[in-house]
Amino acid sequence: MSDTHAESVAYVRETMLPETPPPAAETGITRWMKQNLFATVPNAVLTVAAIVVIYFLLAATLPWILNGIWNAASIRECREILDGTTGGCFAVLSDRWNQLLFGFKYPSTEYWRPALAFLLLFVAAAPVMFFKYLPRKMLLFTAVYPFLAFWLIWGGSIVPPLVLLLGFVAAYVAFKTLEKRGFGVAVLGGLGVLIVAIILAGSIGKIEVLRLEQVQSRDMGGFMLNMILGTVCISLSIPIGIALALGRQSDMPIIKWICVVFIEFIRGVPLITLLFVANVVLAYFLPPGTTFDLIIRVIIMITAFASAYIAEVIRGGLAALPRGQYEAGDSLGLDYAQAMRLIILPQALKISIPGIVNVAVGLFKDTTLVSVISMFDLVGMIRGPILASTDWNGVYWELFGFAALLFFVVCYGVSQYSQWLERELNTDHR
């Protein structure tokens, strides 16, 4: 047909033109900018506004950061070196680095211990975080880690944590062997073994094996304290949260109401009032003469706080499961404990993981509130001893900027992980 065309219409082109490159405005960076920055007039206005904002942000901070002083003994020396020019006095960070990270009472020769515990935390957390990619056997280390970390950070003889660890293993074995005789019996048996182990661990703590210098809980401080509070409270609150969530879903009215009242009460008050309770009121509710460390009282309160929130997240997960799953469990003849353990919880927890991670991040940030009740966490160190010292009195931005950066790195990392996990677990088949 084409040849007829060529015969009948002389001006129709017979050959294809060579391809020309697209016009400059439609390629590369220009096109990208046109599409992404200057698509419409309001869009262009927004772009300009954004550039102005960024300029002001950079103009305010860059000279200050770039011209910063990293080496000086006091703020006066900083001021002398700067001599009127703009610049941060970051020397406070290098001077008080250890205090910011470990508090001021942790023995300086032992800093390697919390540092090592921190590194091992990643090894221990990895098999849980990337359970699809790492061998299951690594979970063994995760199970050992709490005892190892306790020994590393608090020091003392390795015997008590070891006995406790063996106690947990024994309790697990007892649970497994008794399981055939019913879940309740198995739990009781396991708990019994565990209590024996705890008593044992307490009584034979004097045996000196692999002794590390002992550090009191009240000597913990700095960012380490935030990390300890965050990890301990979150790990303790997950099982409690599960129990509370199940209790709230329970058919038994009394148990249900106990859980509801607990959860709603805790969620209804700010964490800071709970910390006040830990600090100024709790002592009145304990038997006279008992005093236990502020840090433990705070851990109790923060754990209670976190478990209420985690319970709500898990309740959401439980509610999101189709009714059929519960009915399937019943129709297989599983009892309550079996149905929960084998069918409901694995699915509900999977749905709740992103929510739990969010609560964890929020809680980790909230650990800074302990500075209000005179504990020397990272913010407490800054607001207390460092700013009160004659050397660094008046250095605010550098210190708070550093604290913000440290929290940002941790929380941003965790929340990125949570988003990755959410994609990974995405099971809604859309």
Partner 1 sequence: MKKSVFLGALTVAGLTAGAAAAATLDDVKARGTLNCGVTTGLVGFAAPDNNGNWDGFDVGVCRAVAAAVLGDPQAVEFVPTTGKTRFTALASGEIDMLARNTTWTFSRDVDLKFEFVGVNYYDGQGFMVPKELGVSSAKDLDGATVCIQTGTTTELNLADYFRKNSMNYEPVPIETNAEAQQQYLAGACDVYTTDASGLAATRAAFEDPSAHVLLPEIVSKEPLGPLVRHGDNEWGDVVRWTLNALIAAEELGVTSANIADMASTAGDSPEINRLLGTEGNLGEMLGLEADWAVKAISAGGNYGELFEKNIGETTPIGLARGLNAQWTDGGLLYSPPFR
Partner 2 sequence: MTIMTDPQQESFRPSMLLNDTRYRSYTFQFIALIVLIAIIAYLGYNLVLNLRAAGLNISYEFLGEPAGYDINQTLVDYTSRSSHLTAAIVGILNTLLVAFLACLTATIFGVIAGVLRLSNNWLVRKLMAGYVEAFRNVPVLIWIIIIFTIMTAVLPAPSAFRGDDPDSSMILGSVAFTNRGVYVPMPVWGPGSMVVVVTFILSVIGVFAYRRYAKKLLYATGKLLPMGWPSLAILFVPSILVFFIMGQPISLDFPELGGFNFRGGLQIGAPLIALWFALSIYTGAFIAENVRAGILAVSKGQTEAAASLGLRPRRIMNLVVLPQALRVIIPPLISQYLNITKNSSLAIAVGYADITATLGGITLNQTGRAIECVLLLMLFYLLISLGISAVMNLYNNAVRLKER
Binding site for partner 2 (CB under 8 A): 35-37, 39, 43, 46-47, 50-51, 53-54, 184, 251-255, 258, 264-265, 267-273, 276-277, 280-281, 283-288, 361, 365-366, 368-369, 371-372, 379, 383, 396-397, 400-401, 403-404, 407-408, 411-412, 415
CB-wise, 112 or 284, nearer to partner 1? Answer: 284
Instruction: Please tell me whether residue 428 adopts helix, strand or coil conformation.
Output: coil
288 is an interface residue for partner 1 by CB under 8 A:
yes
For 376, the enclosing helix (H) or strand (E) is none
Question: 377 pairs with which residues across the strands?
Answer: 222
DSSP symbol at 49: H
Residue 86 corresponds to which amino acid?
T
Q: Kindly state the smallest distance separating residue 323's Cβ from partner 1, in Å.
A: 42
Q: Which of residues 248-277 bind partner 1 (CB under 8 A)?
A: 276
CB burial of residue 242 (10 Å; 0-12, 13-18, 19+)? buried
389 binds, among partner 2, partner 1, none (CB under 5 to 8 A by kind): partner 1
Q: Kindly state the smallest distance separating residue 176's Cβ from partner 2, in Å.
A: 21
76 binds, among partner 1, partner 2, none (CB under 5 to 8 A by kind): partner 1
For 119, the enclosing helix (H) or strand (E) is helix 112-129
Both structure tokens of 110? 């032992």
Q: Kindly state the smallest distance separating residue 217's Cβ from partner 2, in Å.
A: 22
Residue 207 corresponds to which amino acid?
I
- How does DSSP assign 186-198, residue by residue? HHHHHHHHHHHHH
CB-wise, 173 or 280, nearer to partner 2? Answer: 280
CB-wise, 174 or 399, nearer to partner 1? Answer: 399
CB-wise, 48 or 207, nearer to partner 2? Answer: 48
Long-range contacts of 407-410 (CB under 8 A, 24+ apart): 407/364, 407/365, 407/368, 410/364
Under 8 Å between Cβ of 68 and 89: yes
Question: 10 Å Cβ neighbour count for 135?
Answer: 9
Question: 10 Å Cβ neighbour count for 36?
Answer: 10
254 binds, among partner 2, partner 1, none (CB under 5 to 8 A by kind): partner 2
User: Could you say which of 65, 300, 373, 411 contacts partner 1 (CB under 8 A)?
Assistant: 373
Under 8 Å between Cβ of 173 and 194: no
369 is an interface residue for partner 1 by CB under 8 A:
no
User: Could you say which of 31, 37, 81, 104 contacts partner 1 (CB under 8 A)?
Assistant: 104
Number of residues that bind partner 1 (CB under 8 A): 38
- How does DSSP assign 310-364, residue by residue? HHHHHHHHHHHS-HHHHHHHHHTT--HHHIIIIIIHHHHHHHHHHHHHHHHHHHH
Both structure tokens of 221? 């401080």
Q: Which of residues 198-217 bind partner 1 (CB under 8 A)?
A: 216
User: Could you say which of 8, 290, 426, 427 contacts partner 1 (CB under 8 A)?
Assistant: 290
- What is the per-residue binding string for partner 1 in 155-194, x denoting contact by CB under 8 A? ----------------------------------------
Q: Kindly state the smallest distance separating residue 365's Cβ from partner 2, in Å.
A: 4
Among residues 192, 161, 198, which one has the least CA distance to residue 175? 192
CB-wise, 138 or 406, nearer to partner 2? Answer: 406
For partner 1, the binding residues (CB under 8 A) are 76, 79, 95-96, 99, 103-105, 108, 216, 218, 276, 279-281, 283-284, 287-291, 294, 372-374, 376, 380, 383-385, 387-390, 393-394, 396
